[in-house]
């Protein structure tokens, strides 16, 4: 069965510092992998996705993530944090041919001035 | 940009009462979903709906839950007799192509509080 594990329910970084949000997944076949962001009082917004091809994927707002099959990981990074990045981030997975999305518990990112 | 809307944003109800959560999916989408997130836990799939039928449902989606697309624009989730453990954020989503799950658009959610 698919599952997603996000390490750290809260992560704090200083403005300008590297953002690293960790995600590991479990799936029997290479899945689709996603990161979603949720700003206060808003819906889940797709930040980036891995479907096939290049394992380093770039998303909106300067975020990127790398699919590492050997480590079953899909960690999210951003070189330099901005105050506007403060939000909740969800890693998610979906099996190919299946339309339901399996989410992790989420990581709340705090940006320190 | 098209968006999924949900009403109300917050619903408070007493245990045992029926609630209906409403969603307006994107107009040309064909596939509809409900997910929920209990506070502090992961977002969980509840049900998918296509062509006026449930396509798939999770073990959470028991006989207390039902979904309907009553008028071609709204998509509703009904909980017949709410329990305390139904308190959660409920997200609606819609999609045009089920082969592309990442094309699901999510609404802002309805926070349901059962007292």
Which tens digit of pLDDT belongs to each residue from B57-83? Answer: 999 999 999 999 988 889 999 999 999
How many helices (H) and strands (E) in chain A? 0, 11
B100 DSSP 8-state letter: -
Considering only CB atoms, A101 lies closest to which of B40, B101, B109, namely B101
**pLDDT reported for residue B65:** 97
pLDDT bin (cut points 50, 70, 90) of residue A98 is confident
- What is the reported pLDDT for A1? 66
Query: Which residues does B93 contact at the CB level (< 8 Å), separation at least 6?
Result: A44, B4, B25, B32, B33, B34, B35, B104, B105, B106, B107
**CB-based contacts of A10-14 (< 8 A; 24+ apart in sequence):** A10/A107, A10/A108, A10/A110, A11/A107, A11/A108, A11/A109, A11/A110, A12/A109, A12/A110, A12/A111, A12/A112, A13/A81, A13/A109, A13/A110, A13/A111, A13/A112, A14/A81, A14/A111, A14/A112, A14/A113
Q: Give the Cα separation of A23 and A99 in Å (integer).
A: 20
Q: Specify the length of chain B in residues.
A: 115
Torsion of CA A19, A35, A64, B25, to 10 degrees: -120
Query: Which chain B positions have a beta carbon within 8 Å of A48's beta carbon?
Result: none
Distance CA A29, CA A46 (A): 22
Distance from CA of B58 to the nearest CA of A (A): 10
- Does A102 touch chain B if contact means CB atoms closer than 8 Å? yes
Compute the radius of gyration of chain B from its Cα atoms: 13
Give residue A17's pLDDT band: very low, low, confident or very high (50, 70, 90). very high
* pLDDT of residue A14 exceeding 70: yes
Higher pLDDT residue, B57 or B2?
B57
Contact A43 B56 (CB under 8 A): no
Which uninterrupted H or E stretch holds A10? strand A10-14
Question: What percentage of chain A exceeds 90 in pLDDT?
Answer: 74
The whole-angstrom distance between B65's CA and the closest CA on chain A is 18
pLDDT above 90 for A110: yes
pLDDT reading at B103 higher than 90:
no
- Coil vs helix vs strand at B49: strand
B108 contacts A42? CB cut-off 8 A: yes
DSSP string, A67-109: EETTTTEEEEEESS--GGG-EEEEEEEE-TT----EE---EEE
- pLDDT, greater one: A82 or A3: A82
Residue A112 has pLDDT above 90, yes or no: yes
Q: According to the model, what pLDDT value does residue B42 have?
A: 86
Largest Cα–Cα separation, chain B: 39
- Are A76 and A57 a contacting pair, CB within 8 Å? no
Nearest chain A residue to B91 by CA: give it.
Answer: A43
Residue A44 has pLDDT above 90, yes or no: no
A48 has a pLDDT exceeding 70: yes
Is it the case that residue A27 has pLDDT exceeding 90? no
């Amino acid at each position: 069965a698919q599952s997603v594990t996000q390490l750290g329910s809260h992560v704090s970084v200083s403005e300008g510092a590297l953002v690293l949000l960790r995600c590991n997944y479990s799936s029997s076949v290479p899945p689709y992998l996603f990161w979603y962001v949720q700003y206060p009082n808003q819906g889940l917004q797709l930040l980036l996705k891995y479907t096939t091809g290049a394992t380093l994927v770039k998303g909106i707002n300067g975020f990127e993530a790398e699919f590492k099959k050997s480590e079953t990981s899909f960690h999210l990074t951003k070189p330099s944090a901005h105050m506007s990045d403060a939000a909740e981030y969800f890693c998610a997975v979906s099996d190919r041919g299946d339309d339901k999305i399996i989410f992790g518990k989420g990581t709340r990112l705090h940006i320190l001035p | 940009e098209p968006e999924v809307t949900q009403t109300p944003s917050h619903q408070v109800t007493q245990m045992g009462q029926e609630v209906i959560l409403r969603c307006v999916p994107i107009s040309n989408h064909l596939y509809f979903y409900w997910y929920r997130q209990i506070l502090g836990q992961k977002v969980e799939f509840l049900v998918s709906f296509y062509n006026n039928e449930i396509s798939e449902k999770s073990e959470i989606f028991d006989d207390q839950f039902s979904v309907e697309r009553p008028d071609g624009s709204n998509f509703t989730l009904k909980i017949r007799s709410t329990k305390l453990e139904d308190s959660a954020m409920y997200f609606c989503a819609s999609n045009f192509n089920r082969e592309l799950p990442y094309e699901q658009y999510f609404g802002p959610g309805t926070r349901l509080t059962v007292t």
